[in-house]
A = this chain, B = another copy of it.
Amino acid sequence: MEQKSTEISTLGEFGLIDRLTKDLPIVNKSTLRGVGDDCAVMSYPDTEVLVSTDLLVEGIHFDLTYVPLKHLGYKAAVVNFSDIYAMNGHPRQITVSLAISRRFTVEHIEELYSGIRLACEIYGVDLVGGDTTTSRSGLVISITAIGDAPKDRVVYRTGAKDTDLICVSGDLGAAYMGLQLLERERIASAGQKDFQPQFAGKEYLIERQLKPEARRDIIENLEKEGIVPTSMMDISDGLSSELMHICKDSEVGCRVYEDRIPIDYQTAVMAEELNMNLVTAAMNGGEDYELLFTVPLHCHEAIKKIPGVKVIGHCTKPELGTYLVTRDGAELQLRAQGWNPLAAEETSAQ
């Protein structure tokens, strides 16, 4: 089937925006006015307002040779929702700004938008504004998410106490392994026609990399169990890096246990195949978008009732430092070697 291909310049900025934002639904009562004025207008009389923003750059954060545009749009939206959940809030609105180079057609951008709109639909978020312009090279996506949380339920990074339990949702390292796998197949496919990538038995890794989900379910279950975490973050740069943030900002130390780190079977198989250290991948891999949080000791029983949450260690007094306790009882100091796009450039530069 032939794909229609419309040059963006035939529509112009306003024409493109009209087409992309046609029939946008509004589902949140806090949204008073969406796309179509100088500003979006919202009302938050009873809750705190949460705002988070992310900038994704082609060639740095994504590679369109293996990332479908629809998946990219979905992920770009979801990672911002994840930041709102990480404050124990709910995302309600997003704005989407795009800079687009000439190699993209209207249909490409519609594909990207279809992923953003799908994420909005699934997570109950309204797309309320943005900006669309050209770029000299590549695609840039800037998304700002707006959310809310009742005043007494906003969770910062600063509230962990030295006797708290440390919990994570889901499993770690799979998105990173998915990236390694995609990268390996991309290299293997270079110059080959009709190349068939080898993803059998590794679908979970691919999905975690290309189409991550934000943990709304955990936020809902915490509320159901009457738990307000003392601190929380989402894991975007790797567990190790995020743990250090929480410990620094809350002025506590920590002990997390290697044998408690949740790792999926496919992640372990892939690490073996690539001859990589599995725990390093899980601790430093990044892009997991799971939640890392601390709760008071007395929440131990209630936490066990939430599916997909695991206690991986506990906080300590700050002078005891931040350590991973290995299976054989050795203590390894945590290091923030997380996924860092500014440092990463160093290694990728010629």
Which A residues fall within an 8 A CB radius of B? 8-9, 11-14, 16, 32-33, 36-46, 48-55, 57-61, 83-84, 86-87, 89, 93, 95, 97-100, 102, 128-138, 140, 142, 144, 146-147, 151, 154, 156-158, 232-234, 249, 336, 340-346, 349
> Do the beta carbons of A137 and B137 come within 8 Å of each other?
yes
Min CB distance, A11 to chain B, in Å? 8
> Do the beta carbons of B345 and A59 come within 8 Å of each other?
no
Q: How far is the CA of A12 from the CA of B339 in the complex (A)?
A: 11
> Do the beta carbons of B60 and A136 come within 8 Å of each other?
yes
A57: contacting residue among B60, B99, B233, CB under 8 A: B99
> Do the beta carbons of B48 and A157 come within 8 Å of each other?
no
List chain B residues, Cβ under 8 A from A52: 38-40, 129
6 interchain pairs, CB-CB under 8 A: A12-B342, A39-B86, A42-B50, A43-B49, A44-B44, A102-B345
A53: contacting residue among B48, B95, B249, CB under 8 A: B95
> Do the beta carbons of A342 and B136 come within 8 Å of each other?
no
Q: How far is the CA of A99 from the CA of B249 in the complex (A)?
A: 26
> Do the beta carbons of A86 and B38 come within 8 Å of each other?
yes
Chain B residue, CB-CB nearest to A43: B48
Q: How far is the CA of A23 from the CA of B226 in the complex (A)?
A: 37
Min CB distance, A91 to chain B, in Å? 10
